[in-house]
Structure 1
Amino acid sequence: MSDDTEMTVDPGTWGALLAPRLAQFAAVARHEHVTRAAQELGMPQSTLSRALARLEADLGVALFARHGRAVRLTRAGLTFRAAAERALAEVERSAESVRLDADPDGGRVAFGFLHTLGPETVPSLLRAFRADHPRVRFQLVQTYGEAMLERLRLGELDLCLTSPVPDEAGLVVRKLDEQRLRLVVPAGHRLADRKRVRLAEAASEAFVTLEPGYGLRRITDALCAEAGFAPRVAFEGEEAETLRGLVAAGLGVAVLPPPAVPRPGVVEVDLAGRRAVREIGLAWLDGAPAPAPVAAFRSFLLSRKGALLPGA
């Protein structure tokens, strides 16, 4: 290869090529002196000089005007300095954030849970946990089961409480508790004075349910199929208390877990059958690192097995 052969750099490699040199460039730009910058960086002056020359050669521009070991930024150097300082500051912020997240006393836990666990269960869990870990911070994600598991798979969540309990490769899941499901009917409904009903007795009713993709919707559909019918769905929603409001308005019946606070206008009737339950499980990504605060919260939740749900 001749000496005048021009080297081209794939744009996709610029980050890897420049990243190790940004701190060196920024130090020289700050001191406007190669020797003083080398002393700050703890490296030989000759090594730093060669690194700067390679940086300029790779970029194809002069970043410094040299006067002995003193240097002055060119116009291109001034532009590059601003970008380099922003990049280094962002790396510093990210490194500090990662360090804080791993702090056993004050790190962060990304925790997902179902909407129906939000009003009472999750707040009581967090209050109990933070009594011994007051500095741990939480990123709370409240959504439906399939969306939550997808965020878990993507690494956006550390832990999640979900239902039905998933069984899939790549996830570790532990059943923690279960809730008896009830048939929710309007006050004055023909089944409202019953202590317990078979779901088949509601086969002719209009149902209000959560939307497809919600775990409770899958459970409802499965229970109805087991009872020998497909529910006639009149309304679909995203939140259990909204469904109770629709039932109170006489727009249908619903299969729901117990409410955090009793709602007027509806009657909650126990469903017969051992399988009329909703299992709640704790899930995390198999093999994912568990920083100290995540491990502590996971151990805390596992210790609540059988006593996770108030009144369950």
Structure 2
Amino acid sequence: MNSDDLELFAKVAHHRSIVRVALELGMDQSTITRHIARLEQQSGLRLFYRNGRGVVLTDAGKAFLQPARKVLESLEQARLTAHALSHAGPPRLSIAAPPTIAGVLFGRIANAVAHAFPATVLHFAESLVSNILNMLAEGEVDIGVVYAPVPASLTYDSLMLKESIYLVGPITAAPLGAEVQSTRIGEFPLLLPATPYGSRMMAETLARNLGLRLNIRLECNTGSATMKHLVEEGIGYSLMPYAIIAREISHGRLQAARLVDPPVTRDIVVVTARNRDPAPELWNTLQIVRNEIKHLVQAGRWAGVALSEDEVH
């Protein structure tokens, strides 16, 4: 038995006419007759008999109608519940990203979530990737947009991005051009964090792989705004994604060249905690985040970032 058979049975029982049901639903009478015949075969009951004005329930049909209606009511309630869950959104949603990503994404995500789920209270957290991973594990954050790799305790969304890294310098220095070979990284006095994450880890890994020695002029554990200001003042060069320097580039305050031969990139992934309940409302908001990221990249509004090959194809 299936819900289509039961629904048609209930409608024919109510109207006492296959013709009227066919007209109401825009179906062929023969199709309705086949559904009723299949239900009778599966139940082993004769449900209707014909008279001159239509069809009439048999005694077995009358007894069968009551539980059939209960099944249909339960199915309708399930549909209504699913619709409510998928359209209500979570009461509160927390999304975290490092500063280099947050500055690009948070505005778009805020608008998209507010449009889809007006009642959802949105909370943004901007922090280092290591802190975000801890917040995800502790249940303080629902969704993270972070740099890979991430621990096995987190679940990757299938969306993955490739972000190119640029050598950023003062506009008053010799022109860098559009690209700089990574093998030249040791020629530039660098401003890097002292702690082994982010651009410091990228620079040290690159130097180790190429057999180079870094020329670190200043260790600076500050936000990207201070780092950009120091570069702009001519203190040295730094390694940054293009998105966070795009405004300064357009205003002629900084210059940047993409690192090539070999290219320097890092993966950006969307993650959730494995120990969280995979509620429908969280899944729906995850799709919003995912779609906004794709739209930004495809529209060229996240400079220096490309979709993975799987997403492109």
User: Is the aligned partner of 1:250 residue 2:238?
Assistant: no
CA distance in 2, matches of 1:132, 1:103: 8
The counterpart of 1:144, out of the listed 128, 135, 148, is 128
Q: CA deviation at 1:142?
A: 0.5
- What letter is aligned with 1:252? G
SS in 2 for 1:120: helix
Flag the 1:106–1:195 CA change in 2: closer, same or farther, 3 A: closer
Contact 2:182-2:261 at 8 Å conserved across structures: no
Flag the 1:302–1:241 CA change in 2: closer, same or farther, 3 A: same
* Alignment root-mean-square deviation, CA: 2.6
Q: CA deviation at 1:114?
A: 0.8
CA distance in 1, matches of 2:294, 2:201: 23
CA distance in 2, matches of 1:171, 1:188: 44
**Structure 1 runs not aligned, ≥5 long:** 1-101
Output the TM-score relative to the length of structure 2.
Answer: 0.60
Calculate percent identity across the aligned residue pairs: 15
CA distance in 2, matches of 1:213, 1:122: 26
Q: CA deviation at 1:226?
A: 2.5
**Counterpart position of 2:177:** 194
- What letter is aligned with 1:135? A
The counterpart of 2:288, out of the listed 289, 300, 307, is 300
- The answer to which structure has the higher helix fraction is 2
Output the TM-score relative to the length of structure 1.
Answer: 0.60
User: Is the aligned partner of 1:120 residue 2:112?
Assistant: no
Q: CA deviation at 1:139?
A: 1.7
- What letter is aligned with 1:183? L
Flag the 1:222–1:184 CA change in 2: closer, same or farther, 3 A: same
Q: CA deviation at 1:211?
A: 4.4
Q: CA deviation at 1:196?
A: 1.1
Contact 1:184-1:266 at 8 Å conserved across structures: yes
CA deviations over 1:174-203 (Å, ceiling 9, x no partner)? 34322221110112323x242211122230
Flag the 1:262–1:193 CA change in 2: closer, same or farther, 3 A: same
CA distance in 1, matches of 2:113, 2:169: 36
**Counterpart position of 2:208:** 225
Q: CA deviation at 1:292?
A: 4.0
- What letter is aligned with 1:262? E
Q: CA deviation at 1:262?
A: 2.4
CA distance in 2, matches of 1:154, 1:260: 34
Moved more, 138-147 or 128-137: 128-137
SS in 2 for 1:155: coil
CA distance in 2, matches of 1:161, 1:127: 17
- What letter is aligned with 2:171? A
Flag the 1:290–1:211 CA change in 2: closer, same or farther, 3 A: farther
